[in-house]
Amino acid sequence: MDFGTNLQLIRKEKKLTQQDLSDLTDYDKRMISRWEGGNTKPNIEAAVVLAKALGISLDVLTGIKPQQAAEPLIDPELSKLLSLAAKLPKKDIATVKEVLRLILGR
């Protein structure tokens, strides 16, 4: 996997937007977009800053070493639905829980 694709994948796994990463690193959002798009690559100093901001090693950022927990623990769509459900009124949350219990047989 190329650097840009790897950077984008890791950023999204960390649930960060390009703007979030920009804020963490002080690199312009447009530069992050160029790195992710493969238009250019960061110098070593920028790569170190990116790795620190993402909480990973340079080996993982560059794709030399795979990230340990690259597989999401929960399906992204299910995670999004659960986040939305958590914002429902308490009565509706109870209904959602009951439906899930019925489906899951618990």
**How many other CB atoms are there within 10 angstroms of residue 67's CB atom?**
17
- Residue 84, pLDDT score: 86
| Predicted confidence (pLDDT) at residue 1 exceeds the cutoff of 90 | no
As separate numbers, helices (DSSP H) first and strands (DSSP E) second, the chain gives 7, 0
Please give the average per-residue pLDDT across 66-89, as a whole number.
Answer: 75
CB 42 within 8 A of CB 75: no
CA within 13 Å, CB half, 97: 8
Q: What is the pLDDT of residues 16-25, one digit of tens each?
A: 999 999 999 9
In the three-class reduction of DSSP (H, G, I as helix; E, B as strand; rest coil), residue 35 is classed as helix
> What's the pLDDT band for 67 if we cut at 50, 70, 90?
low
| Predicted confidence (pLDDT) at residue 33 exceeds the cutoff of 80 | yes
d(CA 78, CA 28): 32
- Residue 106, pLDDT score: 73
* Average pLDDT along the chain: 89
- Residue 76, pLDDT score: 74
CA angle centred on 74, ends 88 and 37, rounded to 5°: 105
- Residue 25, pLDDT score: 93
